[in-house]
């Protein structure tokens, strides 16, 4: 039995330092748990001239080849993020027979198939627990803990920045732009927040979870995605009146047709649902298994030490397998490579949900009748209508809750409604979380 496993690290940013700290702080404890020593031997960090003193036992290098070609390194950890050069480094490491651990959700949700296929061919492992949900053991829980279940749905709050913004808007009634600006100043949000607030990062993570949950090939580009930038405090107030909170949800379901639903959108979540209570930068995912029913896992969805913990867990997992000679015991995507299938993503026009519609219209006689007629013509029935404030010739918010209707019908109706002369701004639509 091999008693030392050597690890090389590419990328020494926030998560890289978290991983280094996790391995450093818990070296002895981990040895007591797996009977072997995990040594971080080389760190690739182009911008540094020296490593912080606590990591001085590792060697600093400015060349990734130094790690990839080092026969003593068993596991290569990639934490630089982005598509290139991360992809090339990972494929080179796999070709060199090394196991890989990464937290790179953008890469895996786009190029995962190529990476996992190369790893399976080489008989090496790819760990990616850190790519979704920070320190929450989501991937291990899904892949191994729920292995005996058919997964019926995966739903969750997967972006801490978006959830932080919505939580501040909810608790304090502040507008989206103001919260975003403050979050940027505090370093919680990126200078370019597009990935976070437009749902793209959430779609990356959903694609990764779906590939495991349903044993399927999928890229994030196949997921219809809407963000939260058009949500206003008014919508949050209405949500509260309806006993809901607005959350940016990733939603996927295995449909009876055999197709898979996959969407990211702001959603009205009833306060009785646990996901409505996930606040601030926290993440949570609900897996619905045919045997278990709803299983919810939550925790800090990002950050130096939480994500470092997840990356370190993958490293320990692979180190144990190396020591026991049992690499590839659990397939990367849960299903054996030959059983990973292409499943059809349901066209969003076919999907159905109930909706909250906030229509901005001049308060003139007949406007509501026109709107109701349009909805009715498209087969959309109305559950309730609320109109607040009243000022002649000033636009007011007309809020309509609809019963379940197809996306196609709602899109067609909204196109007509927004074309009415009395409607002065695009309608904001928020889907209602479907009852179980």
Footprint on this chain of a copy of itself (rule: CB under 8 A): 18, 22-23, 25-26, 29-30, 32-35, 129, 134-137, 140-141, 144-150, 215, 274, 277-278, 289-300, 305-306, 308-310, 312-313, 316-317, 320-321, 323-326, 328-331, 334-336, 339
**Separation between Cα atoms, residue 315 and residue 22, nearest integer Å:** 11
Closest to a copy of itself by CB, 32 vs 390, is 32
Pairing of β 244-254 and β 151-157 = antiparallel
Closest to a copy of itself by CB, 192 vs 256, is 256
Closest to a copy of itself by CB, 343 vs 358, is 343
Measured from the CB of residue 78, what is the shortest distance to a copy of itself in angstroms? 18
The residues, ordered by sequence, that sit 6+ positions from 247 with a Cβ below 8 Å of its Cβ are 157, 163, 166, 266, 267, 269, 275, 276, 278
Peptide bond before residue 85 is cis, with ω within 30 degrees of 0: yes
Measured from the CB of residue 335, what is the shortest distance to a copy of itself in angstroms? 5
Closest to a copy of itself by CB, 34 vs 434, is 34
Measured from the CB of residue 323, what is the shortest distance to a copy of itself in angstroms? 8
The residues, ordered by sequence, that sit 6+ positions from 309 with a Cβ below 8 Å of its Cβ are 18, 22, 135
Closest to a copy of itself by CB, 74 vs 317, is 317
Measure CA 341 to chain center: 22
Q: How many helices (H) and strands (E) does the chain have?
A: 14, 18
**Separation between Cα atoms, residue 115 and residue 83, nearest integer Å:** 12
**Tokens matching residue 324:** 């026991």
Q: Is the separation of the CB atoms in 34 and 323 below 8 Å?
A: yes
The residues, ordered by sequence, that sit 6+ positions from 303 with a Cβ below 8 Å of its Cβ are 14, 18, 134, 135, 281
Measured from the CB of residue 77, what is the shortest distance to a copy of itself in angstroms? 13
Measured from the CB of residue 308, what is the shortest distance to a copy of itself in angstroms? 6
| Nearest CA among 47, 111, 81, 334 for reference residue 216 | 334
Closest to a copy of itself by CB, 76 vs 300, is 300
205 is a catalytic site residue: yes
The catalytic residue among 205, 247, 364, 388 is 205
For the chain, helix, strand, coil in percent to 5 are: 40, 25, 35
Measured from the CB of residue 350, what is the shortest distance to a copy of itself in angstroms? 26
- Residues annotated as catalytic are 205
């Amino acid at each position: 039995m091999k008693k030392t496993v050597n690890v090389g690290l590419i990328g020494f940013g926030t998560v890289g330092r978290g991983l280094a700290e996790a391995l450093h702080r818990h070296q002895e404890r981990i040895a007591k748990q797996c009977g072997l020593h995990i040594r971080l031997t080389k760190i690739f960090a182009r911008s540094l001239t020296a490593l912080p003193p606590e990591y001085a036992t590792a060697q600093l290098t400015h060349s990734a080849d130094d790690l990839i070609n080092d026969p003593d390194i068993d596991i290569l950890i990639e934490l630089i993020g982005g598509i290139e050069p991360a992809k090339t480094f990972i494929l080179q490491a796999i070709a060199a027979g090394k196991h890989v651990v990464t937290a790179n959700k953008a890469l895996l949700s786009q190029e995962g198939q190529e990476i996992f296929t190369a790893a399976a061919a080489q008989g090496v492992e790819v760990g990616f627990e850190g790519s979704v949900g920070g320190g929450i053991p989501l991937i291990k829980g899904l892949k191994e803990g729920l292995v005996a279940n058919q997964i019926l749905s995966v739903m969750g709050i997967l972006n801490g920045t978006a959830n932080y913004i919505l939580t501040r808007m909810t608790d304090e009634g502040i507008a989206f732009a103001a919260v975003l600006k403050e979050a940027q100043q505090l370093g919680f949000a990126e200078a370019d927040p597009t990935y976070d607030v437009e749902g793209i990062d959430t779609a990356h993570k959903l694609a990764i979870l779906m590939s495991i949950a349903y044993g399927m090939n999928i890229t994030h580009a196949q997921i219809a995605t809407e963000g939260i930038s058009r949500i206003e405090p008014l919508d949050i107030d209405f949500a509260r009146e309806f006993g809901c909170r607005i959350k940016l949800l990733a939603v996927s379901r295995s449909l009876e047709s055999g197709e898979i639903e996959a969407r990211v959108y702001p959603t009205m979540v009833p306060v009785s649902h646990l996901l409505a209570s996930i606040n601030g930068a926290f993440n949570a995912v609900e897996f619905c298994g045919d045997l278990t029913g709803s299983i919810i896992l939550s925790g800090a969805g990002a950050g130096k030490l939480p994500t470092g913990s997840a990356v370190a867990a993958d490293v320990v997992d692979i180190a144990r397998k190396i020591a026991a000679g049992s690499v590839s015991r659990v397939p990367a995507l849960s299903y054996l490579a030959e059983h990973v299938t292409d499943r059809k993503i349901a066209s969003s026009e076919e999907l159905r949900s109930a909706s909250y519609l906030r229509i901005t219209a001049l308060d003139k006689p007949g406007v509501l009748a026109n709107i109701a007629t349009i909805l009715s013509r498209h087969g959309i029935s109305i559950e309730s209508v609320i109109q607040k404030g009243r000022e002649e010739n000033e636009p007011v918010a007309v809020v309509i809750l609809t019963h379940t209707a197809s996306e196609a019908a709602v899109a067609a109706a909204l196109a007509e409604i927004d074309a009415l002369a009395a409607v002065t701004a695009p309608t904001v639509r928020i889907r209602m979380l479907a009852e179980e």
